[in-house]
Chains A and B, each alone.
Chain A
Amino acid sequence: MSEAAVSFRGVTKTFGSVIANSNINLDIKKGEILSLLGENGSGKTTLMNMLAGIYYPDSGQIYINDEPVIIKSPKDAFDLGIGMVHQHFKLIDVLTTAENIVLGLEGRLNLKDTEKKIKEICDKYGFEVDPQKKIYDLSVSEKQTVEIVKVLYRGAEILILDEPTAVLTPQETEKLFKVMRNMKADGKSIIIITHKLHEVKAISDRVAILRKGEFIGDMITSESDETQMTQMMVARHLFLNIDRKKPVNVKPRIEVKGLTVKDPAGIYKLKDVSFTANSGEVLGIAGISGCGQKELLESIAGLQKVESGSVLYKPDDKEPVDLIGKDPRQIHEMGISLSFVPEDRLGMGLVGNMNLADNMMLRSFRSGKSKLFTDRKTPRELAETVVRDLEVITPSIDTPVRRLSGGNVQKVLLGREISSHPKVLMTAYAVRGLDINSSYTIYDLINKQKEAGTAVIYVGEDLDVLLELADRILVLCDGEVSGIVDAENTDKNTLGLLMTKKGGAA
């Protein structure tokens, strides 16, 4: 008997003309943690979706414990002991944790027994779950825990985690890894999809690499290093450091003073935030997610109702103007070129159902010569320029942007935002979910903007990148500024302390 829990043999899956997986042969052993590594669009999620019964392979065979199986639906997958935790949670907000966990199971509903069983699972692996809490009261990491408990409750022996750490803080990630190790000790097989190489090193026994839908190879994690993995992933050598030039011609561009924002419930989101962003400089913003980063950028962009404070824009030759109380259109009409790459790319920065050319129009549709008619030609040209210059992979500029992969969506958005040669460029989690290659393209573009004299405000989550990309780093903690540090003379520990404790460095 072999020790493979899952074997893929010659599995192929195509979507129209796109080959998502091509003749994949891969084994997952019992009781191991396997990292599935690959760039965006390399077919990791598709492969796992076939194991979880979401997709059905065009050809090839999947074996579970050496038995050939047919997985037609997620129910088949559950029956075979396969459970997948998707990147986007599939929970019902208004139901409780326990209700979500039993949802869809057959038999009589007995919530008491359910809660007992949930508690057993939690004690066994070290989860913390309150079965009676409603989902909408849970944090992102708690929701993820519920998803994992849900698949364990269904008796999963093979767990698939699709980019579980993308939404977690370093502390939460560590907690997740601890639980994963407990599950492994219990003999479960775990497949984790991730982009982050240091996490691959930290958690997995073996790493399998996909590239453009093909299986490239696998190796024992402890016997390989990050450079090796990267090379297999992108098939060419990458420099893993960012070329940071010294800022030149630094002038104050945006001056934020005493900015205070409350949410509709009256809770402080930003409290007395003051800082200056300079031209020709990248100001990094670090902080645990949800500490006011979104509100800060949206206040400057004119999208957020502000309680008090001011956001002064300082042009080169004119008097400073306050941006508070102006909407994006008014800011634009004042002749201020302010670009914003929001966190929610398809929900705010772009319209998923519109094609590339129409998405270019979002910023420019008012500027046509005619009062009534909009100019459709210039945006088309811009779309073609962006596709060419940023190497966006798309069938045409008439393709809806939602059909593009994450990295290409971001290139379209950033491409549009920098096309206006902005004086201020704000980006929120610009590389979230992007593979290494795309990420470096984005860093490169940001650096070019800085050299062109733009004041860049970069909200990021990867501290290593912040330290290499930014000139100065502002750390937010619970809506307050806990420190502004010089990136060159700071290390990760200092940032981490500032992130968790206000004024940690003082």
Chain B
Amino acid sequence: MTEKTQKEPLFHVVKRDTVSRRKEWAIRAVAIISALILCSGIIAMFTGDNPVEIYRSIFLGAFGSERKTWITLQNISVLLIISLALTPAFKMQFWNIGGEGQVLIGGLASAACMICFGEKLPNGMVILLMVITSVAAGAVWALIPAVLKARWNTNETLSTLMMNYIAIQLTAYYIIVWEVPKGSGKIGIINQNSAVGWLPNVGNKYLLPIIVAVIVTAFIYIYQKYTKHGFEIAVVGESRNTALYAGIKVERVIVRTMLLSGAICGLAGLLLVGGINHTVTTTIVDSQGFTGVMVSWLAKFNPIAMIATSFLIVFMDRGASEISTAFGLNQSFADILTGILLFFIIGCEFFIRYRISFRTGKEKH
């Protein structure tokens, strides 16, 4: 037979069978290190600054002082709670991108309680009312798209997104109604003197969201892994037909899961308004309803892994503000670095699932 007329391809992609946990994490580590090296190159090339200094300052931005560390942890907690809230819905393949609105409406409900009952009811009663109304408001905001989906199979991506805008406009309206002082276009700190409706300090003023986040993480972890509800969510997410076959009432699971999702979002709103900011603005959620989607997916819906992914995003975000002041760099520069990092982290999943097989060079006959 004649010799080869064509060249063997340089490499080809081969699907891996199984990958050990250790190798999986090794691949991810290599990805993160490569991303940092690439970022260093970009920093050196475009800004002329020392990459090591930049990284140092990112770290200091997040953990440079005791106060900064607490704020970082608090931010992680809020993002984590919102991401955890969205997780059961996504696990069910229900595209809840309405986290933003569900958190905001929960926050608005809290603010309403603080303003309307601040001078009429004792502090404890106000806080109790805030908890109930914010959780209920978030749940209702999620319930509407859920019922639409369960009853008429409407597209939940659209309906949850639209509910965000309704929540933002409602908030904008009530800010004008409640604005202090009149004409300022904002509410300002609510009950600044009486501090009615301010969630109590546990230890210090940062600790409460952190404790709530720990509880919610444990709850979602157990809920998804060990309860009948959790199993039903997983089956509905994988195949509606199988769910029907197993006698699972799909509509009921959708509504129930979204109620839970919305309720936890409402709780996050309560923490933002009653615990952290003591005011409400239309931008108080700061797109965390969307960032949470990324946190959840990056962690493949595993609540424990979500601690790491939310940490990564908050860490980079806090570092970004630091380098923008310390080096006079634009805040967007840190966003570029975050983008590169995420690209590598998501991209490395490909190498976990496939391996590249290079040309061996020897002829085989």
Q: A56 contacts which of B12, B228, B232, B234 (Cβ < 8 Å)?
A: B12
- Give chain A residues whose Cβ lies under 8 Å from the Cβ of B5: 67-69
Q: Are A70 and B1 in contact (CB under 8 A)?
A: no
Q: Are B4 and A68 in contact (CB under 8 A)?
A: yes
Q: How far is the CA of A61 from the CA of B5 in the complex (A)?
A: 12
- Give chain B residues whose Cβ lies under 8 Å from the Cβ of A353: 238
Q: Are B239 and A347 in contact (CB under 8 A)?
A: yes
Of A174-182, A236-244, A313-321, A363-371, the segment with at least 4 beta carbons within 8 Å of chain B is A363-371
Q: How far is the CA of A166 from the CA of B93 in the complex (A)?
A: 33
Q: How far is the CA of A301 from the CA of B245 in the complex (A)?
A: 8
* Known contacts A16-B17, A58-B357; is-contact A362 B226 (Cβ 8 Å): no
Q: Are B1 and A66 in contact (CB under 8 A)?
A: yes
Contact of A352 with B by CB under 8 A: yes
Q: Are B238 and A61 in contact (CB under 8 A)?
A: no
Of A101-109, A209-217, A253-261, A325-333, the segment with at least 4 beta carbons within 8 Å of chain B is A325-333
Contact of B18 with A by CB under 8 A: yes
Contact of A38 with B by CB under 8 A: no
Q: How far is the CA of A352 from the CA of B364 in the complex (A)?
A: 38
The residues in A between 73 and 117 inclusive whose CB is less than 8 angstroms from any CB of B are none
Contact of B68 with A by CB under 8 A: no
Chain A nearest Cβ from B312, distance in angstroms: 26
* Known contacts A67-B5, A347-B239, A372-B227; is-contact A15 B245 (Cβ 8 Å): no
Contact of A395 with B by CB under 8 A: yes
* Known contacts A354-B238, A362-B235, A365-B231; is-contact A395 B18 (Cβ 8 Å): yes
Please give me the residue from chain A that is nearest to B232 by CB atom. Answer: A365
Q: Are B364 and A348 in contact (CB under 8 A)?
A: no
Q: Are B3 and A70 in contact (CB under 8 A)?
A: no
Contact of B48 with A by CB under 8 A: no
Chain A nearest Cβ from B203, distance in angstroms: 31
Q: How far is the CA of A366 from the CA of B253 in the complex (A)?
A: 14
Q: How far is the CA of A7 from the CA of B171 in the complex (A)?
A: 73
Q: How far is the CA of A150 from the CA of B215 in the complex (A)?
A: 59
- Give chain B residues whose Cβ lies under 8 Å from the Cβ of A374: 226-228, 230-231
Q: Are A70 and B228 in contact (CB under 8 A)?
A: no
Contact of A474 with B by CB under 8 A: no
Q: How far is the CA of A52 from the CA of B95 in the complex (A)?
A: 38
Please give me the residue from chain B that is nearest to A342 by CB atom. Answer: B245
Q: How far is the CA of A67 from the CA of B4 in the complex (A)?
A: 8
Q: B9 contacts which of A10, A58, A70, A366 (Cβ < 8 Å)?
A: A70
Contact of B7 with A by CB under 8 A: yes
Chain A nearest Cβ from B6, distance in angstroms: 5
Contact of B2 with A by CB under 8 A: yes
* Known contacts A350-B242, A352-B238, A374-B228; is-contact A72 B12 (Cβ 8 Å): yes
Contact of B181 with A by CB under 8 A: no
Q: How far is the CA of A395 from the CA of B247 in the complex (A)?
A: 30
Contact of B15 with A by CB under 8 A: yes
* Known contacts A15-B15, A362-B235, A368-B228; is-contact A349 B245 (Cβ 8 Å): yes
Please give me the residue from chain A that is nearest to B223 by CB atom. Answer: A372
Which among B230, B232, B244 has the greatest number of chain A C-beta atoms within 10 A?
B244
* Known contacts A17-B17, A58-B357; is-contact A329 B242 (Cβ 8 Å): no
The residues in B between 216 and 245 inclusive whose CB is less than 8 angstroms from any CB of A are 226-232, 234-235, 238-239, 241-242, 244-245
A–B complex contacts, Cβ < 8 Å, 8 sampled: A15-B15, A61-B4, A68-B2, A72-B12, A329-B248, A351-B242, A366-B228, A374-B231
Interface residues of B (CB under 8 A from A): 1-9, 12, 14-18, 226-232, 234-235, 238-239, 241-242, 244-249, 357, 364-365
> When A and B form their complex, which 7 residue pairs have the shortest distance between CB atoms, in order from nearest?
A16-B17, A329-B247, A328-B247, A351-B238, A348-B241, A362-B246, A56-B12
8 further interface pairs, Cβ-Cβ under 8 Å (given A328-B246, A365-B246):
A70-B4, A348-B239, A348-B245, A349-B245, A351-B238, A362-B242, A362-B245, A365-B228
Interface residues of A (CB under 8 A from B): 9-10, 15-18, 56, 58-61, 63, 66-70, 72, 301, 303, 327-332, 340, 342, 344, 347-354, 358, 361-363, 365-366, 368, 372-374, 376, 395
